[in-house]
Structure 1
Amino acid sequence: MLDFLHKSKASKSLVIFVHGLQGSENTWLNASGKSFPSLLIQDEEIKRNFDFAYFNYYTSLFNIPEIVKKYTGFFKGLLGKPHAKVDKNLHINEVSDLLSTYLGEMTHQYDSLILVCHSLGGLIAKSLIVHHSGDAAVKKIKLIFSLAVPHNGSHLADIGERVLSNVQIKNLMPLNDDVNKINHLWISNKDFNPKIIYFQGKMDDIVVGASSVGFDANKPEIKFCDDDHISIAKPQSASALVCISVANALLGFVKNQAINELSNQEAADLSELEKQDFVLKLIIADVHSNLIANAKQRFYDAERVRRVLIQMDMNKEMDFLYSAIGQIYTDAFSEALAGKIKDGDELLGHVHRRIGEENLNLLKSISEITFLHKIGMVHQLANVNEDIWWAREHSIKTLEEYKAKKSE
């Protein structure tokens, strides 16, 4: 079942904790009785932007009590006596079926879902993604935290399967056919999978390092923690490494969402930019009209992002980006002065190309600030910086002369 433990009217994102074998809500409780979600909610921004819930499903090491209850209930039913529902261990694909239905029925109000998964819970999450990818609710899953998940099996499950006949233990065995199929589908589904962050406990003897990181067509993001298989789900305080890492990722998600929402806003009326200095500098440099139109759109996109960064108090990140982009322009203009770049069209194209090349290196930033936004940033700089020109012979004098001529 899906049990909510924190809800607010304003939140559009839900974080769901999915336990593993023999787990429950207690999976997330530390020795002081504080839960993982409660430690995260200590951060006011996380509390304001996320709701929290547990997904609980039946899991038990032993099947004998299930058999006894099953036939006891059967005979009670024959005698017309009331009896409780008989629970049993389900295959991970069957548990993911249940989770898909809960999400479909109980998460209509959310735009984004995030899963925090421990051990077997991570395999349930992957099964959910690959087998229910067409579901509207599953498409809302944007991020998965994989805490000590045996993506490639656990050798301890080999021993457990010899002692206990348990389908969920069988799911945890190395080279298990069902899990291999999920891994194969996960790789095939790479363009549609949500982002996954792998957490590896350095003290974990149950899920070894190689298994804690799944097969992935994309470069995996891995966090290392000083935890064992159990403690990784029970941080002792908000300053525990696993708690800090999850909290930082959630805060980063908030920033990315805000920028993404801004990027999806309606396009501006670009005609209002005609008198901006960055446009006039392009015109007097005889830059092609198509490039000018592109520069206008990128300028507007970058302006929206700039306002969000200011609201989020990300001035350091913003200053770094503008400084680095300004340096790319300066280097290019030096080449223009040396005669290696012949005109404004070529100079503009060169700067745009260099920004694209450095997008994931020198200009690396939060993912939602794309290289298109960064292209716009060079035009923002051109609007306020008297030293940015797209032709060698132009200066503030030629710009003022052009303005005066246009106003006549």
Structure 2
Amino acid sequence: MGDKAKYCCIIYEVRQMALRLTRIQREKDKAGKVLVVFIHGLGATEKTWISEKTDWMKLILSDKRFLNTDVAVIKYGTSHVALGKLTSVYNRLATRFKKQQFSRVTIGEGPFANIKKLAQELKRELNMENIKNYEQILFVCHSMGGLVGIRYILEELERDTPIKVVGFISLATPYNGSNKAVYHGLIKHIHNHSQIPQLEPNSSFTDDTMRLWQKNKSKMALSCVFCYGTEDKWVTEESSIPHIIDDKWADSIPLPGNHSSILDVENHKSLPYEVISERILNIIIKNNGPTRINPGEPTSISRPPKIETSSENFSPLPFSNESEIKSEYNRLICLLDLAYFGLSIHSRLGWLFSQFAVFDESIRDFKRLVNDLKSIVLMVQKSEKRTELIRKLEDLSLYVLPFVMGEEDRPNGWKPANDLAKSIQDDIETLEYKLMGEELAAFKLGQYLGKWDNNEAVSEDKLSLYSEQLIIRLIEQLSINKEVPEEILQIFKEYRLSDSISNIHIPHRIYNKVRTMLILNLAVK
């Protein structure tokens, strides 16, 4: 009798679970390092991520760019309308009058778990042992699913709980509510629904979520992408981007279609998949690179970086003798250079004026770096005017050079310079959200090679094979014949076979070869 009671109790708990996670591995016998989690929205449990010919999960798992990446699908109880005990009556009528059924409206009994409860259950699923082993987790969410995902993230941040979520991509999520949700009030006497009232504009749930977001914004060490449908009548562009986001122009992505059709895909070339998959890849690359060294902080340095001025190690940036290059390739080179040098200026600042640097050469290199970055920014932004980013570069140069040369005192020491360099990096990093295709590949490749170059000088560990594969894929995307030049592959082979200190020049050699490849592409064009 006791065993039977215990068994019944277990069955009851399983039935009470409102949300479940189903994981699909790319390789049957081996879990990957990255997990992409798809979270559906209101009323759509199974069909959200499935089109007539394929589905999002199959596309990710068959995409050669996503080795070591698995997927997971979240399902939870929901429907557009919850009729409580009247559901059975509706089902009988719907069976009898099939032609009069709503084609896109789902009917359920309700009341369903509210969004905050779903976020708690998402936490439970992500804490399972087979999920905890992943190094990175990314959320891809549609509609209300974005509120479930972000609420989980914010609740964990509120409690200072470490999480492995490094990316959050939402599609038509009503952060500021949906005017369509007010239909609940018209039928509330028979509408047994706990989720829809939370989707109304200015609901206590959305207000509380935005308050948590504002409070924990500085803790959010993850990349966010916000998409909206150009023809969406349920979630407007204004609602699909949280009002606490500073630059809505940079952080929002329009997708053609309505609330549901923005997810329609046929193959890897479908626009929604191309846009979202590139953002997923960007986030993986961004978080898989070597840890950046912060200048001013003590490090266990086993060997100093050697500053070279030879053409092999410091090739000229594209503003001396390359005016004949076609504008599109000139721009690709600029984006490569901007990311390679600009996204490590914070670290290079520390190296250039560290105890290991050659003083005169360090100052000369730093002045050249700042001047070249200013020129690159002008070309990338296609503007001759003095932008905010250029002003910051000038301010950094004016602060640093007189200080290190002993011409002026700086009572606040290096902190203002460090803060300014970090701000410059942040500004440059946001440019990637305006890029697509080859331009995005050039920017990400420069970023990745720059991180590797900066870290190689102080690390005894070699670049991971996974990171090497990502770099090679980006080079393939930029190559006119979609193949990595043999000389670049040979450099990688040398790197794997060598333990020499010359390894610290390997990333820069690859960077130079890629720039040469982009120039040679013109001969074929």
**TM-score normalised per structure 1:** 0.64
Contact 2:172 2:235 in 1 (8 A): yes
Matched, 1:234 2:285: no
> Among 204, 208, 211, which residue is 1:184 paired with?
211
Give a deviation string over 1:298-318, Cα, whole Å, max 9, x none: x9xxxxxxxxxxxxxxxx769
1:206 alignment counterpart? 234
| Contact 2:290-2:451 at 8 Å conserved across structures | no
Using the TM superposition, give the Cα deviation of residue 10 of structure 1 relative to its aligned residue in structure 2, in angstroms. Answer: 5.1
Q: Which one-letter code corresponds to 2:233 in the other structure?
A: D
**Alpha-carbon distance in structure 2 between the residues aligned to 1:259 and 1:219:** 26
Q: 1:23 & 1:178 partners in 2: Cα distance? A: 21
Structure 1 residue 62: Cα displacement = 3.9
Deviation at 1:178, TM superposition (A): 1.2
In structure 2, what residue type is equivalent to 1:179?
Answer: T
**Conserved? CA contact 1:18–1:121, under 8 Å:** yes
- Residue 130 of structure 1 is matched in structure 2 by 154
Which residue in the other structure is 2:52 paired with?
31
Q: Structure 1 pair 134/92, CA: closer, same or farther in 2 (3 Å)?
A: same
Distance 1:186 1:31, change over 3 A: same
Q: Is the 8 A contact 1:18 1:55 kept in 2?
A: yes
SS of the equivalent of 1:183 reads helix
Alignment match of 1:2 (pick from 21, 25, 33): 21
Q: Is the 8 A contact 2:61 2:71 kept in 1?
A: no
CA drift at 1:241: 1.5
- Contact 2:292-2:451 within 8 A present in 1 as well: no
RMSD, aligned α-carbons: 4.2
Q: Report deviation, 1:260.
A: 3.2
Q: Residue type matched to 1:209 in 2?
A: E
Structure 1 counterpart of 2:24, one-letter code: L
Q: Does structure 1 residue 196 correspond to structure 2 residue 196?
A: no
Question: Structure 1: which amino acid aligns with 2:278?
Answer: N
Matches within 5 A, 1:8-407: 8=27, 9=30, 11-32=32-53, 34-46=54-66, 48-65=67-84, 88-106=111-129, 107-133=131-157, 139-164=163-188, 165=191, 166-193=193-220, 194-220=222-248, 221-260=251-290, 269-270=302-303, 278=308, 320-321=336-337, 346-351=363-368, 357=393, 359=425, 360=427, 365-366=443-444
Task: Please give the alpha-carbon distance, in whole angstroms, between the structure 1 residues aligned to 2:272 and 2:187.
Answer: 33
Contact 2:453 2:505 in 1 (8 A): no
1:260-318 deviation line (CA, Å, top 9, x unaligned): 36879x966215x6xx5639x9xxxxxxxxxxxxxxxxx9xxxxxxxxxxxxxxxx769
Closer, same or farther: CA 110–350 of 1 in aligned 2, 3 Å: same
2:139 is paired with a residue whose SS is strand
Q: Which has the larger radius of gyration?
A: 1
Gaps of 5+ in 1: 70-85, 282-298, 300-315, 327-341, 385-408
Distance in 1 separating the partners of 2:85 and 2:368: 68
Q: Hey, what's the Cα distance between the residues in 1 that align with 2:180 and 2:37? A: 27
Q: 1:317 to 1:261 in 2, by over 3 A?
A: farther
Query: Quick check: 1:187–1:215 contact (8 Å CA) kept in 2?
Result: no
Q: In structure 2, what residue type is equivalent to 1:201? A: G
The separation in 2 between residues aligned to 1:263 and 1:167, in whole angstroms, is 48
Contact 1:30 1:234 in 2 (8 A): yes
Structure 2: how far apart are the matches of 1:39 and 1:55? 17
CA distance in 1, matches of 2:79, 2:46: 14
2:132 and 2:21 mapped to 1: Cα distance?
A: 13
Give the C-alpha shift of residue 11 in structure 1: 1.4
**Structure 2: unaligned runs, 5 residues or longer:** 1-19, 89-108, 315-331, 343-358, 374-391, 394-423, 432-442, 457-503, 510-525
The secondary structure found in structure 2 opposite 1:205 is coil
The amino acid across from 1:110 in the alignment is Y
* Letter in structure 1 aligned against 2:263: A
Quick one: which amino acid aligns to residue 119 of structure 1?
Answer: S
Contact 1:324-1:363 at 8 Å conserved across structures:
no
Secondary structure of 1:243's match? helix
SS class of match (1:223): strand
Query: What is the rounded CA distance, in whole Å, between the counterparts of 2:268 and 2:200 in structure 1?
Result: 33
- Deviation track 1:292-345 (CA, whole Å, cap 9, x = no partner) reads xxxxxxx9xxxxxxxxxxxxxxxx76994299969xxxxxxxxxxxxxxx9656
Question: How many Å apart are 1:181 and its aligned residue?
Answer: 1.0
Aligned positions, number: 312
Identity of aligned residues (%): 21
CA distance in 2: counterparts of 1:228 and 1:243, whole angstroms: 16
Q: CA deviation at 1:29?
A: 1.1
